[in-house]
Structure 1
Amino acid sequence: MPLMPLDGPVTPLPRTDGRRPQPVSPARRALGSATARRVASLLPLLALGVWAAVDGGTVRDGAARLAAADPWWLLAGLVFTCLGWVAAACVRQGAVPDRLPRGLLLASQVAADAANHLLPANLGAHAVTVRFLLRQGVPLPRATTSIALYSLVRALAKTPLLLVFLLAAPTAVPPVTVLPDGRTLALAVGGVLLLPAAAAVVLALVRPLRRPAVDFVRTALTDARHLHTRPGRFLPLWGGAVAAPLLQACVVASVGTALGVPLSWPQLVLAFLAAGTAAGAVPAPGGIGPVDAALVLALAGYGTPLALATATVIGYRVLTVWLPLLPGMLVLSALVQRKVL
């Protein structure tokens, strides 16, 4: 018997178990999204608890040493820490042509500072900032190039500060004291020289990467040229970049003064800037580890007793890491919950 063609629409066969497939309702989809967002907002607090359990001894030791310090100078150091968020927000705004909401931008930098202590090489802060920029409607190429401009300006701004405080503190610690050893310095120089060569080899071998790389460079150069024609952008960009390490150095100077370190403020500031420059090539979460060791070495090079230099560094870490970490994680969770991140 020949098969007859079907003129009407084909009706799908029912399921063998007698039940029809039920589409996912918008309410259920929204509930699943909200649950995932709540879980994501709790992850920073979970990371905070794990880190506190692993490194809680540092907090207890630092708190014990700071108990006998001058509380007003410690409060000044905490104020300098908070001003560091304002400086970071200025640099972030100066690195993008788009106008960003000031309150949310500052809150994002508080959250970025907390995330920065969990991942090395500023990856946590950059990831939070890129997410924030995307949520504000900034295109992804412009958001990523702003990160490159931010990093470059922050690195370049330290040079004039070092020169100024080298002149202001003529009895400075010998440079050989804070410089890394020959092997570390050779690795750093080799990495700087090999990085462009490795990038060129990768682009030559992997052709699909050429166009994105060219677009990235073109966007970066265009935005940098455009930003430096607008005083409302390049002034906060460079001003914030100069102020950020200076404010961090003022935290060290405040803690050192509170503990009675026998050094002047220019010497304390120079010790921090030199330590940050010497250990900046070693990637670590928030610079913890290499910067601490270099700072203790620099303070000891000035003649500070080793125990007092160690207490100063611990106090600096308590004010810049542990005290702001809980509110920073809470802000990060709140921004995730409000879909700002």
Structure 2
Amino acid sequence: MASGFVRLRGADPAWLVAAGILTVACWLPVCLLRQGTVLEPLPAGRLFASQVAAGSANHLLPAGLGAHVVTLRFLRSCGISAPRACAALALYSLAQPIGRYALLIALMAASPDASAPGALLPAERGVLALFLLVTVGAVGAALLWCVRPLRAFVQDLLSTALTDARALHTRPARALALWCGAVGFPALQAAVMVAVARALQLPVPALDVALAYLTATVVAGIVPTPGGIGSVEAALLPGALVLASLVRRKVI
């Protein structure tokens, strides 16, 4: 920690400012992505504030559940029914990793000589992640098979989500917001890491930094932990303040 702070004091302030600006900008594609999951126009200011607050709540529960809870309450406050709000969350959960994987594959294809994700992680971790993924899937399938009310709920949710997804893709503006947000969010996150690496004069190519970061986020998604364990964002404190303010004003 001490050596890290010493290194930080010698960081390039211009690159640190750029990293801060990019961090704030990360909320913009998230707002686009959220808007792209519903047909109704959402109030831009309240949407942005809700996503700042969601970033704080996301550190309390694993797998993005905190952000989903905040967003669900926000969508309900905008007059969207509970089934369609849940369907919007399902579509978000599908589009977001697709955008991240697509960006990772595109960067790997753009520079085959860059460090491959497989070289960044031991094979044992990949096997463990696959095992956990299969285990969670098997448990989920067993629950759906044994618990009839849960199975009916999931079926209704998927039916609503598919109906809304088809309707959204008939409107170019919504489809553009959905997929631009899905790709733009991880791209800006990777850009933040590159800016910090440049500020600290790390002798690592920018593409390698981006690939390493995107690979780490993919693994974190497979093995979820509260807040990504160790990747606490600089926006945690302001996000918590915004979350409390929105709850008091009954926006969420």
- TM normalised by structure 2 equals 0.91
Q: How big is the shift at 1:234?
A: 1.0
Q: Deviations over 1:104-123 (max 9, x none)?
A: 00000011011112222111
1:129, CA displacement in angstroms? 0.5
Give the secondary-structure state (helix, strand or coil) at the position aligned to 2:227: coil
Q: Which residue of 2 aligns with 1:84?
A: 26
Moved over 6 A (4+): none
Classify 1:259/1:110 alpha carbon distance in 2 versus 1 (closer, same or farther; 3 Å): same
Aligned AA for 1:179? L
Do the aligned partners of 2:33 and 2:92 also contact (CA within 8 Å) in 1? Answer: yes
* 1:258 partner letter: A
The structure showing larger relative contact order (alpha-carbon pairs under 8 Å, at least 6 residues apart) is 2
The reply on whether 1:331 has 2:251 as its aligned counterpart is: no
C-alpha distance in 2 between matches for 1:260 and 1:272: 17
The structural deviation recorded for 1:197 is: 4.3
Decide whether aligned partners of structure 1 residues 267 and 205 sit closer, same or farther in structure 2, where only a CA change above 3 A counts. closer
- Alpha-carbon deviation of 1:211? 2.6
Amino acid at match of 1:82: V
- The CA RMSD over aligned residues, in Å, is 2.1
Structure 1, residues 67-93: CA drift from partner, whole Å, max 9, x if none? Answer: 210111011011111111111111011
Aligned counterpart in structure 2 of residue 205 of structure 1, from 125, 146, 153? 146
Amino acid at match of 1:165: L
Aligned partner letter, 1:233? R
Gaps of 5+ in 1: 1-57, 293-316
Q: Is 1:110 matched up with 2:52?
A: yes
Aligned residues of 1:179 and 1:278 also touching (Cα < 8 A): no
Q: Is the 8 A contact 2:144 2:150 kept in 1?
A: yes
Distance of 1:333 and 1:73 partners within structure 2: 31
Task: State whether residues 168 and 266 of structure 1, in contact with CA within 8 Å, keep that contact through their aligned partners in structure 2.
Answer: no
**Structure 2 CA distance for partners of 1:177 and 1:336, relative to 1, 3 Å:** same
The answer to whether the Cα contact below 8 Å between 1:117 and 1:286 also exists between their aligned partners in 2 is yes
Contact 2:15 2:196 in 1 (8 A): yes
Deviation at 1:62, TM superposition (A): 5.4
Q: Is 2:56 the counterpart of 1:145?
A: no
Query: Whose radius of gyration is greater, 1 or 2?
Result: 1
For 1:239-278, list aligned pairs within 5 A.
239-278=180-219
| Counterpart secondary structure, 1:286 | helix
Does residue 163 of structure 1 match 2:105?
A: yes
| Distance (whole Å) between structure 2 residues aligned to residue 140 and residue 176 of structure 1 | 41
Separation in 1, partners of 2:122, 2:97? 18
CA contact (8 A) 2:99 2:183 kept: yes
Map Cα deviations across residues 216-239 of structure 1 (whole Å, 9 max, x no partner). Answer: 111011111111111121111100
Contact between 2:132 and 2:223, CA under 8 Å: does it hold in 1? no
Counterpart amino acid of residue 278 in structure 1: V
Structure 2 CA distance for partners of 1:134 and 1:259, relative to 1, 3 Å: same
Separation in structure 1 between the aligned mates of residue 6 and residue 225 of structure 2, nearest angstrom: 26
Residue identity matched to 2:159:
R
Asked if 2 retains the 8 angstrom alpha-carbon contact of 1:169 and 1:270, the reply is: no
Q: CA deviation at 1:66?
A: 1.9
How much does 1:147 deviate? 1.2
- The answer to whether the aligner puts 1:282 opposite 2:193 as a matched pair is no
Question: Which position in structure 1 is the counterpart of 2:70?
Answer: 128
Sort the Cα spacing of 1:282 and 1:136 in 2 relative to 1 into closer, same or farther, 3 A: same
Whether the 8 Å CA contact 1:142–1:219 is kept in 2: the answer is yes
Asked whether the 8 Å contact 2:23–2:192 carries over to 1, the reply is yes
Change (3 A) 1:201 1:278: closer
Worse-superposed segment, 61-70 or 265-274: 61-70
- Where 2:182 maps in the other structure, the secondary structure is helix
SS in 2 for 1:122: helix
What do residues 303-340 of structure 1 show as CA deviations (whole Å, max 9, x unaligned)?
Answer: xxxxxxxxxxxxxx5xxx13x22221111111111110
Identity fraction in percent = 48
CA contact (8 A) 1:154 1:241 kept: yes
Residue 297 of structure 1 corresponds to none
Q: Which amino acid aligns with 1:256?
A: A
The runs of 5 or more residues in structure 2 that have no matched partner are none
More displaced 10-residue stretch of structure 1: 70-79 or 206-215: 206-215
